[in-house]
Every structure is written in C-alpha cells, then in structure tokens.
Structure 1
C-alpha cells in the first residue's frame, strides 16, 4: 500500500508539473505573438507594394529580377508609366481626379528641365535621374542630351538608359557616375560612354541576371548592328533579353517590314521579340487617335498595354527557366 501510495503521489506531481509547463509555454507563445503583432502594426507599409491582390498578381514578376529599359523617348514613356504604377499602386490616368490639367507622367511637358524635375518628383523619391538637356523641346535642336533613370525601392529595381546613335561605334549611351549628388537635373561632364555591347556587359556586371528590354523606336539608328550585338549577348548572358519591335507611327512611315531582317538575326539567338505591331494592329487600323497623341508617342492606356504585355512575356520566360516565385 505504501509503495502504491508513493507511486500515486509521484504521478500526481508529474501531472501537475506538466500542466504548469504547458501553461508557461502557452503564456510565452501568446506574449511573442502579441509582440510580433505590435511590431507589424507599427511597421510602416511601403507605398510601392500596395496590399492589393490584383496588383501582386499583375506585377509580382518585377520583384524577381531587375528590369532594364534601353531606348529613346518611346521606351522612356513606357518606363515612366510603369514606375508610376509601382510607386503609387495604380496607373496615373486611372486615378480619381485625373484630367487635362494633370501633370502627366508619360506625356510632353514642353520644357526639358521642367519635364525631368517634374516626372522625377511624381515618383515619390524612388528615382534618381541622371538628366540634362541643353536644347529646346525640339529634340532635333538639342546639343546635349543625357537621361538615365534609376528606380529603386525595397521591392523593385528598374532602370532606363537613353540610347541613340550619338557617335556611331563610339557612344550610344552616356552618363555620370554619381547622379544622386545632382539629381534630378544637372550639367556636369560625362563619366562614362558605352556602345550597346559595352552597355549590355555593364548591365550584367552591375545588376546580375536581369530583364533587358531594347527598343530602337523612332530614330534612324543602325538597327542591324544593334540587333546583332543583342543576339550575341543573349547567347552568353543569364539575363532575359527582349527586343521590343520597332514602334509603329500614326502616318504609316514605319512599316513592320522594317524589322524582318532583324527577325532572321534573332532566330539563332535567345532574344525574345515583343510584337508591338501585332499588339496594336486592331487599334491602329480602327482609329489612330486611340493609339497616338502625336506621330510616334502613345497615349497613356497604350503604355499600360505595353507593360502588361511585357509582364506576360517575362512570366512566360521565367517559367521556362524554372522560376515560380518572387525574389
């Protein structure tokens, strides 16, 4: 009896200690949960990652790799349209109160300094603009033009390099090393000057595996030379290289056949062609005014369409490479 009583007493003590230990664990767990909840509630939500399921589904691809745009004003406006979307969580032309007097992110401002300072300010501090033009709004009368835009948030990295055949074979794109010291508009000597092949190498070294979008757009650049350099780079780079097809114009002076020679160059490469003409055929044939606001530049809703199509292409290409989740 004494032995049974001792065993019973010991078993009861063990049960009570187990209950006390369980209560301590539950209490500490609740405390940790509460502290984390307080931390989350006090942590500011970053404005460039809105709590919108639609937003995340549409643009979570941008989080996976840096995206680099290379081109002229047509490409710049597509970049600015997307940069505004990532900064504010909506397309600018779809926001309440948008009207003809709104300072538009992807349209003319009629003065270069005002344009560069103003568009930079609309991006909520997310962009550094290595920008300067010492000419009139008429680009044909501009003596010097520099426009490289660096968009960066905790979630997104995006860059626009302005590229022209400025000094063929010597300098297609140029800029300064520390634009943050003078941005968004300043005059200073050049620190770097790249051909397209050299710029592509610079992008890979600086950003790693990226999404590189090249568009020659509306200017008389050496299309075959640029396309050949792009194709060669695609065979030795881990980046996704997307050739945005030559931009159509409202007067029909830039036919799709202009790119046929380039398509043959891309056949033996890893370059992905973004079919601009195919995207716009129905709108273009139905009503030019629904596409363009001048001879070559698109209305805001077309820049949105371009970025949505780009998202589809990137998601497809990343899927081919085995990427299924955001970075």
Structure 2
C-alpha cells in the first residue's frame, strides 16, 4: 500500500504553523517587556526629577542639588554663629533657595537673624518659617543680651523625607546641653514653653547620645567666641572620633569685625586633632580675604560677630564640599 502523499505535507504545514505561533508569542512577549521597561523608565524619571539629589549642568551643580545633605544626618553643635548657619541651610532645604536671594528680600524683611526683637518672637518666627519641618525645643529665661540670660535651651530638629538635620546650642559644661521633656511633640506645635528637663549632657555624653540616636552621621562642633573649655572639649571630640563611625568636623573659630578673636586661639587644638580622625573646617582662612577686602560684606549690622546671609551660604557650601570629599574618598 502506498503512503498518503498528503501526510508529509500536513506535518510540514503543522510545523510551520507552530513556528509561526511561537514567533508571534516571542514578539508579543518582547513587546510586553518593552512596555514594562518604558513604564518603569517613566516612573524613575519622574522620581529623579523630584529628587533633590538630581544632577544639573553648569556652575550651579552644588547650588541646586545639595546632595551632601541627604547622605547622613547632619548635626550642628555650637553657639549662635553655628545656629544661623543651620537656619540658613534649613531654610534653603525648605524653599529651594537661600532666603536672601528671594526677589522680595530687603532690609525690612524678617531674616533668619536678630531682627525679631526678643527671644520668644525669634524662636517662634524662625520655627514658623520652616513650614512644619522643624521642632524647636527652645526656651530662654533672660533678655535679648545673652550675657544676662539665666537659662537657655535651643535644640532644633529639622526633618523632611530627604533630610535629617539638628542643632544643639552649646556654650559650656554648666549645665551643658539640656533637653526639655516631651518637646518632640509640643502642645499646639508651639516652640516656646517651659517644661521639666529630660536630660542634660556635657559634650562627651552628648556625642554618645547623637551616635545612639542617629547612627552614622556628620557632627559639626564649634565653640565660637565664648569662654568655653576649648582644650577640654577638643580633647573629648578627638577621643570620640577614634571610636565613632560618624564624621566629626571641628568648625574653626570665626574672626570678629574688631579683630578681637585671633586665629592663634585654635593652635593648641590643631595639635590635639593630629592624633584623631577629626576634620578641621578652616573657617578663619575662608573668611579672612573677604574680611580684609570689605568687612561690611561679612558682618551684619547688629554686632561684631554674626554674619551677613551670604556668608552663611558660603559656609554651608564649603561644609558641603568638605563632607563630599571625605565621604566619597
């Protein structure tokens, strides 16, 4: 019996159909993968555009991204000079521009400085400027003149989805840096009311508290112009740096308009830091050229020690460059 001549043709036709169906399936699968990849790309592009760490071109790269503020919690410890630097940065992260660069900014605009009249208005006002991003654990019992202040607490906690920044006001070890009980959840979000003390820490204890609270962070310490125990605090800072995973930066004493505070005040501290992991931010050197050229462009109109807003911007930029260099290297 002869074989059916249609049988091989049927098998061939079936094979061709299967191959065609398999090809179409692969094409459809490839299209699905492409559409998924396209959708994911759109999502990531959208997130990137909203991310404060996005890259930009030109000379404004640092100005617009502030990527260093997202890498680790940033903790400032110091006096009013450091407080104003913190407030300048917190304002920039809240609004997307430095306060003095607002079109409406002028001499009568409420600044992040001492144009508020008294401590309560200053604390409430600067806290309100930050649009709910800051809790101000703040209390002052005294006059606007800090030398007549009996009690003071000023711990500021600034948080956004991208940033975690704090400021602890510190002058000396008596009683040290104190915190008022329950102030992380203030009544009516008021930044100014009297409450029992929760804790008081000297600088060594405060550094341990920061490590336990924030983990790896960047800690910037500046004792400023007050009669603090410089060698004692610098020694504690150096010792802490050798067993901490945080980056510890000593912000050098800044000059004053009248030249009263000399750079050689810090020379003994530099010797202490040689055997530590402390990084020195040479604030003095950074400002002296500006100071010698035109000190009215450096200092504000109220006193001999606090700076014009653009100087706080400059100090934050230099701090960012230092942090980037140390964390990337």
Q: TM-score, normalised by structure 2?
A: 0.88
Moved more, 150-159 or 9-18: 9-18
Q: CA deviation at 1:51?
A: 6.4
Q: Contact 1:234/1:270 (CA < 8 Å) preserved in 2?
A: yes
Which residue does the alignment assign to 1:175? 179
- The 8 Å contact of residues 72 and 163 in structure 1, kept in 2 or not, is answered as yes
Does 2:85 correspond to 1:78?
yes
Partner of 1:30: 35
Map of 1:11 onto structure 2: 16
The CA distance in 2 between the partners of 1:260 and 1:251, in whole Å, is: 20
Residue in structure 1 matching 2:247, options 220, 240, 244 = 240
CA distance in 2, matches of 1:186, 1:84: 23
Q: Does 1:308 align with 2:308?
A: no
Moved more, 248-257 or 182-191: 182-191
Q: Counterpart of 1:191 in 2: which secondary structure?
A: strand
SS, match of residue 271 in structure 2? helix
RMSD over aligned CA atoms reads: 2.5
Structure 2 counterpart of 1:96: 103
Residue 35 (structure 1) shift: 9.1
Structure 2 counterpart SS, 1:297: coil
Query: For 2:10 and 2:194, how far apart are their aligned partners in 1?
Result: 94
CA distance in 1 between partners of 2:170 and 2:197 (Å): 15
Q: Counterpart of 2:276 in 1: which secondary structure?
A: coil
DSSP 3-state at the match of 1:130: strand
8 A Cα contact 1:212 1:241, kept in partner: yes
**Residue 264 of structure 1: CA displacement?**
0.9
Unaligned runs of 5+ in 1: 321-327
Q: What is the CA–CA distance in structure 1 between the aligned matches of 2:64 and 2:248, rounded to whole Å? A: 23
Conservation of the 8 A alpha-carbon contact between 1:81 and 1:106: no
SS in 2 for 1:273: strand
Taking the aligned partners of 2:299 and 2:42, their CA distance within structure 1 comes to 50
Structure 2 CA distance, aligned partners of 1:284 and 1:219? 21
- Give per-residue Cα distances to partners, 1:124-182, cap 9 Å, x unaligned: 21111101112221111222111000011111111100111251xxx311112431322
Structure number, greater radius of gyration:
2
| Deviation (angstroms), 1:92 | 0.7
Output the TM-score relative to the length of structure 1. 0.88
2:156 to 146, 149, 155: 149
Structure 1, residues 171-219: CA drift from partner, whole Å, max 9, x if none? 3111124313224222101101000000001111111111100001121
Deviation at 1:28, TM superposition (A): 7.7
C-alpha deviations, 1:88-108, integer Å up to 9, x for none? 111111122111222112443
Does structure 1 residue 158 correspond to structure 2 residue 165?
yes
| 2:218–2:248 Cα contact (<8 Å) kept | yes
Q: Which runs of 5+ in 2 are unaligned?
A: none
Tell me which residue corresponds to 1:253: 260
| Aligned counterparts of 1:117 and 1:59: Cα–Cα separation in 2 | 27
For residues 184 and 52 of structure 1, the distance between their equivalents in structure 2, rounded to whole angstroms, comes to 36
Residue matched to 1:318: 327
